């Protein structure tokens, strides 16, 4: 079962310059009023691990839930820890109390790459609300809890999330990160709990805390999206050297959510050279290397990944999460939405590469689709007709184009139903074909 459980593969990956996704859709997503069954959590964890092949545990921490909530939640977390073992690193999340910590450790104990995360308030306001004392006292208790976690089971890695770090005294947060790491914490995540930071503020926070802490401290980012800046802020954290970043499928999390996993992962992986230039990481083509192959003193060697992620899995998993949570994928959802790869107007139809930042089929496995709307050109109409098995000449295409536009305005819907269009084409081709047949009969 445990094997090399004493090795903290998440901490090892982050210190080697590789990116670790801290997946929050099952845990923080519950605060978005969604509830994932134990079976679905296991399935999601396994699927996310497959994005990275055998290096899933080094690239994904799956926050399986909050075991102290109730017996059912405890059992769900335990099932993920046992049944997704080896696919990802599974974490149980807890408040900063001894009883919560014990429940969390028990929920993941005995499984490979097991972790617990303790949430500790970092700002004065949050400390007063969460633990009814000052931030310094709350952080001291966090250090004691890390030590207690290590005493409970040294094979279970322990991480700390500093809640409301964005509004905390950064000097105090830096000192706490040092003390937490010395006590045995694998990573220390700084949280913009209320999603109020601007990108420049996020960059400044991580730069200041990084400058005040030693190389043993592994920082992470947990940044919410209340101002719509969760993704941009997380990118700023990565630019500042952070390699443990929290996200959630479809952005599911408390209130307005957080950075969407599929967007963040795609952004950081689809164009390695561009991202390397942006964040200052080395890219040497060593995308299939193992952890032991890193050159000493070269934390960026091989880029952000032990194994290049399979981005074609992103739309598949997103649709799976959408079906489970009933959060729809819309035409404007980036990367995995229904509008990706669709063409409805003339110039994009002729030159699609000019109107998209990446090739959806090459990068995501999403085949291009021509959609009939009131903006359709004759070329678009001809292409859709051909897909439906009808060949139109130029005159038929112009006639059909007029019908499409009228149909859209008559129904009040931009996208014209293709079954209705097929039925119209049957009538159109029959009308035009009949005189030709009669003419041929008189010769």
pLDDT tens for the 443 residues of the chain, in order: 333 446 899 999 999 999 999 999 998 888 888 899 999 999 999 999 999 999 999 999 999 999 999 999 999 999 999 999 999 999 999 999 999 999 999 999 999 999 999 999 999 999 999 999 999 999 999 999 999 999 999 999 999 999 999 999 999 999 999 999 999 999 999 999 999 999 999 999 999 999 999 999 999 999 999 999 999 999 999 999 999 999 999 999 889 999 999 999 999 999 988 888 887 764 443 333 444 433 333 334 458 999 999 999 999 999 999 999 999 999 889 999 988 888 888 777 777 777 888 888 889 998 888 889 999 999 999 999 999 999 999 999 999 999 999 999 999 999 999 999 999 999 887 654 444 444 444 33
CATH number (domain holding residue 127): 3.20.20.70
- Asked whether residue 160 falls in the same domain as residue 50, the answer is yes
- Asked whether residue 151 falls in the same domain as residue 220, the answer is yes
- Asked whether residue 309 falls in the same domain as residue 350, the answer is no
Question: Which pLDDT score, from 0 to 100, does residue 127 have?
Answer: 93
Among the candidates 325, 356, 380, a domain finishes at 325
- Asked whether residue 151 falls in the same domain as residue 262, the answer is yes
The residues facing 85 across adjacent strands are 88
Task: Confirm whether 250 is domain-assigned.
Answer: yes
Question: Which pLDDT score, from 0 to 100, does residue 189 have?
Answer: 98
Question: Which pLDDT score, from 0 to 100, does residue 430 have?
Answer: 65
- Asked whether residue 359 falls in the same domain as residue 239, the answer is no
Task: Confirm whether 336 is domain-assigned.
Answer: no
Task: Confirm whether 4 is domain-assigned.
Answer: no
Task: Confirm whether 83 is domain-assigned.
Answer: yes
**What residue numbers bound the domain in which 320 lies?**
9-325
- Asked whether residue 282 falls in the same domain as residue 347, the answer is no
Task: Confirm whether 379 is domain-assigned.
Answer: yes
> How many Å apart are CA 391 and CA 383, to the nearest integer?
9
| Domains: count for the chain | 2
Q: Quick check: 158 and 184 in contact, CB under 8 A?
A: yes
- Asked whether residue 345 falls in the same domain as residue 320, the answer is no
- Asked whether residue 300 falls in the same domain as residue 158, the answer is yes
- Asked whether residue 353 falls in the same domain as residue 320, the answer is no
Task: Confirm whether 208 is domain-assigned.
Answer: yes
Among the candidates 325, 352, 375, a domain finishes at 325
The residues facing 22 across adjacent strands are 61, 246
Question: Which pLDDT score, from 0 to 100, does residue 4 have?
Answer: 40
> Which SS3 state, helix, strand or coil, does residue 169 take?
coil
Question: Which pLDDT score, from 0 to 100, does residue 291 have?
Answer: 45
Question: Which pLDDT score, from 0 to 100, does residue 392 have?
Answer: 92
Supply the DSSP string of 360-428, one letter for each residue: HHHHH----EE--BTT--HHHHHHHHHHTT----HHHHHHHHHHHHHHHHHHT-SBPPHHHHHHHHHHH
- Asked whether residue 319 falls in the same domain as residue 399, the answer is no
- Asked whether residue 320 falls in the same domain as residue 345, the answer is no
Task: Confirm whether 254 is domain-assigned.
Answer: yes
Closest CA to 286 of 298, 297, 278: 298
Task: Confirm whether 28 is domain-assigned.
Answer: yes
- Asked whether residue 85 falls in the same domain as residue 169, the answer is yes
Among the candidates 325, 356, 373, a domain finishes at 325
Enter the tokens of residue 82: 């046992």
> How many Å apart are CA 119 and CA 22, to the nearest integer?
14
């Amino acid at each position: 079962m445990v094997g090399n459980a004493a090795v903290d593969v998440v901490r090892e990956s982050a210190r080697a310059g590789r990116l670790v996704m801290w997946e929050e859709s099952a845990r923080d997503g519950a605060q978005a009023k969604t509830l994932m069954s134990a079976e679905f959590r296991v399935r999601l964890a396994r699927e996310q691990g497959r994005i990275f092949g055998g290096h899933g545990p080094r690239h994904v921490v799956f926050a399986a839930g909050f075991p102290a909530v109730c017996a059912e939640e405890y059992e769900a977390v335990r099932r993920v820890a046992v049944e997704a073992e080896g696919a990802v690193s599974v974490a149980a999340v807890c408040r900063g109390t001894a009883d919560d910590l014990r429940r969390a450790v028990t929920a993941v104990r005995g499984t490979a790459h097991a972790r617990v995360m303790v949430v500790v308030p970092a700002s004065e306001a949050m400390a007063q609300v969460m633990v009814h004392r000052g931030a310094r006292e709350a952080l001291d208790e966090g250090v004691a809890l890390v030590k207690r976690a290590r005493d409970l089971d040294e094979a279970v890695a322990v991480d700390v999330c500093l809640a409301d770090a964005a509004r905390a005294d950064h000097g105090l947060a830096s000192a706490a990160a040092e003390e937490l790491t010395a006590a045995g914490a694998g990573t220390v995540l700084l949280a913009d709990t209320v999603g109020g930071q601007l990108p420049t503020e996020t960059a400044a926070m991580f730069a200041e805390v990084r400058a005040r802490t030693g190389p043993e401290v592994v920082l992470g980012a947990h940044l919410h999206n209340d101002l719509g800046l969760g993704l941009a802020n997380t990118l700023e954290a990565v630019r500042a050297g952070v390699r443990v970043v929290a996200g959630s499928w479809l952005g599911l999390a408390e209130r307005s959510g957080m950075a969407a996993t599929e967007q963040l992962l795609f952004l950081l992986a689809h164009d390695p050279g561009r991202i390397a230039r942006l964040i200052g990481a080395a890219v040497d083509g060593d995308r299939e290397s193992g952890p032991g192959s890193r050159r000493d003193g070269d934390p960026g060697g091989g880029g952000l990944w032990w194994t290049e992620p399979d981005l074609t899995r992103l739309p598949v998993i997103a649709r799976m999460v959408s079906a489970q949570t009933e959060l729809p994928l819309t035409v404007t959802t980036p990367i995995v939405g229904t509008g990706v790869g669709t063409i409805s107007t003339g110039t994009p139809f002729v030159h699609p590469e000019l109107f998209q930042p990446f090739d959806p089929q090459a990068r995501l496995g999403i085949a291009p689709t021509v959609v009939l709307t009131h903006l359709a050109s004759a070329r678009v109409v001809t292409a859709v007709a051909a897909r439906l098995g009808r060949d139109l000449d130029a005159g038929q295409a112009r006639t059909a184009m007029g019908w499409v536009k009228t149909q859209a305005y008559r129904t009040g819907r931009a996208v014209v139903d293709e079954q209705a269009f097929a039925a119209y084409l049957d009538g159109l081709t029959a009308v035009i074909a009949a005189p030709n047949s009669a003419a041929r009969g008189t010769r």
